[in-house]
Amino acid sequence: MTDAALGKADSPATLDAIQSSYMVQVQRRRLYGGLTLMIFVLLMVSGFVVADDRNAGGFWDGLHQIGDYPAAVLSEAWAKRADLPALMQRFFPALIETINIAAVSTLIGACAGLVLSLLSTRGLARWPRLIPVFRRLMDVMRAVPEIVIALVLIFVLGGGPVPAMIAIAIHTAGALGKMFSEVAENADLKPVEGLASTGATWSQRMWLGILPQVAPNYLSYALLRFEINIRASAILGFVGAGGLGYELRNAMAWGPGRFDEAAAIFILLFGTIVFFDQLSSRYRNRLTEGGHA
C-alpha cells in the first residue's frame, strides 16, 4: 500500500488529494478553534451578565462611582495631611503584627513543607509506601482556604494574630511542600548514596546530602511565599485576625471623618507590599542565578 502510494506521489491527482485533505484538516482546526473561542466568549459574556445581575449595584452605574471613594479618602487625607505621619506611627505596631504573622507562618510552613516534601519525594522518602498519604495530605492542606481555618480558630482561640498565623502556616506547608518536592525530585542522589555508605541516618542524609543542593531554590520559593503571605495576613486581619487588616476594617466602619486613618493604613500596606515585593524579587534573582554579586 505505502509503496504504491509513494510511487504515484507525483501524479497531479494525488497532489490534489493531499492538498484537499490538508485544507479539510485546516478547516476543521479552524472550526474547532472558532468553536472554542465562541464557547469562551459566550461563557465570559453570560458570566458577566449573571455576576452583574446578582451584584447589589450594577456595573455601568458603579463605573461612574469608582473614583468617588478613593477621591473622598484622598481629599480628606490631603486636608488632614499634617496628621498622617502621626497616624502612620500609630498603626505601625499593627503593620509589624501583620509582617510578623507572615514571617512566622512562612518559617513554620517552610519547615513543615520541607519535611513533607522529603517524605513525599520518590527516592528520598523515609517510608516509600506512605508517599501517596503525604501527597494527599499536602493536597488537602493546599486546598483549604486560609479563611476557613482562621474563622474556626478565631471561634475557639478568640481574635488575634495566632489563628491567622496557624491558618497561613498550614496553607504554606502544603503549597511549599509541593514546590519543594518538585525541586527535590531533580536532586542528585549520589551524595545521599555516599552518606548512606558511611552509615548516616535518614535525617543526616537529607540534611547533608540533599539540602545543600536544593537550598537556593527552596529559599527562593520561601521568599515568594513570604510575599504572598503578607497579602494573606492583611486580608485575614479584615475578618478579625488582628494586624493592619483589622485596623482597616475598624477605620472603614467609621466612614467619613476617619478617612485619614484609612488613608494612612492604605499607604502603609501599599508601601510594605511594594517594599517586600522588590526585596524578595532581588534576592530571588540572586539566588536562582547563583552568583552572589
Partner 1 sequence: MTTADLDFVKSGAEGLIRRKRLVALAVPVLIAVYFAYVFVAFDIPGLVKRANWDNAVTLASDSWSYKVHVTRSNATGAIDYAVEGERKGAYPEGARPDWVTGDDVVTVDLGKGYAVRLLPANRTEIEIPGFGLIEAQAEGRRVTTNLGEDVPDWINASDRRVAVTTPEGRITMTGSKTEVFNYFPGWELFWFTFESPYHGQSLTRILFGDRIDPERANISGALSDWWNNPMWRHKDVAWAIGETILMAFLGTMGAALIALPLAFLAARRFTPFVALRSLTRRIFDFVRGVDALIWTVVLARAFGPGPLTGSLAILITDMGTFGKIFSEALENVDQKQIEGVSSTGAKPLQRYRFGVIPQVVPVLLAQVLYFLESNTRSATIIGAITGGGIGLMLTQAIQTQKDWEEVAYYIILVIAMVMLMDWFSGWLRGRLIGRKD
**Residues binding partner 1 (CB under 8 A):** 40, 43-44, 47-48, 50-52, 54-59, 62-63, 65-66, 68-70, 96-97, 100, 103-104, 107, 139-140, 142-148, 151-152, 155-158, 160-162, 165, 231, 234-236, 238-239, 245, 248, 252, 266, 269-270, 273-274, 277
> Residue 117 burial by CB count (10 A; 0-12/13-18/19+): exposed, middle or buried?
buried
Q: Which is nearer to partner 1, 18 or 148 (CB)?
A: 148
Q: Which residue has the cell 468553536?
A: 35
Length of the chain, in residues: 293
State the first-to-last Cα distance of the chain, in angstroms, to the nearest integer. Answer: 65
Rounded least distance, CB 171 to partner 1, Å: 8
Q: Which is nearer to partner 1, 189 or 273 (CB)?
A: 273
CA atoms within 13 A on the CB side of 225: 32
**Closest of 229, 127, 135 to residue 178, by C-alpha:** 135
Rounded least distance, CB 49 to partner 1, Å: 10
Sign of CA dihedral 62, 64, 65, 66: positive
CA distances from 184 to 83, 105, 195, 280 (A): 52, 22, 17, 22
Q: Which is nearer to partner 1, 118 or 179 (CB)?
A: 179
Rounded least distance, CB 227 to partner 1, Å: 10
Number of other CB atoms surrounding residue 8 within 10 Å: 11
Gap between the Cα atoms of 289 and 165, Å rounded: 31
Q: Which is nearer to partner 1, 54 or 190 (CB)?
A: 54
Rounded least distance, CB 254 to partner 1, Å: 14
Rounded least distance, CB 223 to partner 1, Å: 15
Q: Which is nearer to partner 1, 178 or 205 (CB)?
A: 178
Gap between the Cα atoms of 169 and 286, Å rounded: 26
Q: Which is nearer to partner 1, 88 or 235 (CB)?
A: 235
Dihedral angle, C-alpha 201, 203, 208, 211, nearest 10 °:
150
Q: Which is nearer to partner 1, 44 or 86 (CB)?
A: 44
Gap between the Cα atoms of 62 and 66, Å rounded: 6
Rounded least distance, CB 182 to partner 1, Å: 8
Rounded least distance, CB 12 to partner 1, Å: 25
